[in-house]
Each structure stands twice: as C-alpha cells, then as structure tokens.
A and B are shown apart, each in its own frame.
Chain A
Amino acid sequence: SYVLTQPPSMSVAPGQTARITCGGNNIGAKSVQWYQQKPGQAPVLVVYDDGDRPSGTLERFSGFTFGSTATLTVSRVEAGDEAVYSCQVWDTSSDHPVVFGGGTKLTVL
C-alpha cells in the first residue's frame, strides 16, 4: 500500500517559517491534505487539495505539492502553531484508499 513519510519533529523560532514535508511516490499526482492536531484535541483540516484553505484557516498556512514531496508552509510562526501536522492522500489504486503520514511535531522555540 501507499506510504507517506514525514519527519517526526522539527523546531522553529517565533516569527520564522516552518516547512513541513510529506514524501510519497509520485505524490505530485495525488491530492494532499494537511491536518493540525494540538495536544488532547482532534485533528483539524488546515489545507486540502494540495494548497486550498478551508474557511477559518489563516493565510499563514499554505501547501504545495510537486514530484515526490508535499510541503506545508507555516509563515510567521507563533506559539499557538505548536502542534502535530499530518498529511493525508486518497489512493484510488488501493483497497486501502486512505493514507496518513506519521505526523510531524512542530515545536516553537
């Protein structure tokens, strides 16, 4: 089945830019979603279809997918952005269509 690979953790100083990656075989051909999950809370959709933002998602959050990597960029990082970010794709060729990455813990220094 399809596999999505994320770095387990990363850290960034406030005001800087965080780029969280999600790797997968030819992921550029798929639609990628990103979820933010704060401690003790359910995941919340922040980006869908590679780079679209649902209403309520701040413009500081943007997504881009190309080749074998999808990237969620968080600009002007704030303390409140500290969370686990998980990517997700839909693999139509599989009987296991929903695939999540392992998640990346973003720490704001």
Chain B
Amino acid sequence: QVQLQESGPGLVKPSQTLSLTCTVSDGSINSGTYYWNWIRQPAGKGLEWIGRIYTSGSTNYNPSLKNRVTMSVDTSKNQFSLRLNSVTAADTAVYYCAREVGLAAVRWFDPWGQGTLVTVSS
C-alpha cells in the first residue's frame, strides 16, 4: 500500500519561504490517475486545503493562498513539493500531503502522510 512522508524545515522565519517535499513509497507517483495534495491544520483548528498537482504538472490552488503557493512534481524521485512564500505566523500549522482518489465530483483523500509541523517564528 502506498505511503506518503513529508519532509522539510520545521522552523521558518517570517517573510521567508516554506518548502516541503512529500515522498511517495511502495508505489509509483505515476500509477493511476491521481492528484497529489497538500493540506494543513493549525493547532486546534480544522483542515485547510492548500492545493493539488497532477503528474503532468497541472495544478489547482486554494484561491486564498494562490498568490503565494507553488507546487511541483518530480516523477523520477517519486516526490512532489510545496513552496509557500512570504510566510507569517498565520502559516504555522501541521502540513499534510495526501493522495486524492476518485472520479468527477466523488473524490477523497487516502492515504495521508503523517504530517510535519512548520512553525513560523523569528
């Protein structure tokens, strides 16, 4: 069964760029027609969708973050990545990567990575 694992710095300074990578194991990122997503969760709050990428490089982003987000995919490494620039304390959260499964308007996330806490602080 495919597994996902996030990696990246746990501390980012305000105004700098948050960069995370999700490594897909026990399966190819190219297999099937999946989108690969980033989702975050501030402490004690609900889940917020950041965006998704297809292996072709096609992306969709949350409009509220669109101006600051860039996602990329490296199929040779079985990885996809997130960059969020100009971060503030409001971007402090646990960041999850997840595979999007389904068809048309019936879509869900399974599996998820274990999550990585990113703190924005000087």
Chain A interface residues (CB < 8 Å from chain B): 30-31, 33, 35, 41-45, 48-49, 54, 86, 88, 90, 92, 95-103
Against A, the Cβ 8 Å flags (1 = close, 0 = not) of B96-122 are 100000101111111111110000000
**Does more than half of chain B's interface fall in helix, strand or loop, or is it mixed?**
strand
Known: A96-B63, A97-B60, A100-B46. A42 touches B105 (CB 8 A): no
Against A, the Cβ 8 Å flags (1 = close, 0 = not) of B22-35 are 00000000000000
Residues in chain A near residue B47, CB distance under 8 A: 35, 43, 86, 88, 100, 103
Known: A42-B115, A95-B63. A101 touches B108 (CB 8 A): no
* Chain B residues with a Cβ closer than 8 Å to the other chain, count: 26
Q: Which of A45, A86, A96, A97 contacts B46 (CB 8 A)?
A: A86
CA A99 to CA B107, docked complex, whole Å:
11
Residues in chain A near residue B62, CB distance under 8 A: 96, 98
Known: A96-B62, A100-B46, A103-B46. A42 touches B113 (CB 8 A): yes
A to B CB contacts below 8 Å, 6 in the list: A31-B102, A33-B108, A33-B109, A49-B106, A86-B46, A103-B46
Residues in chain B near residue A30, CB distance under 8 A: 105
Residues in chain B near residue A99, CB distance under 8 A: 49
Residues in chain B near residue A100, CB distance under 8 A: 46-49
Q: A45 touching B115 by the CB < 8 A rule?
A: no
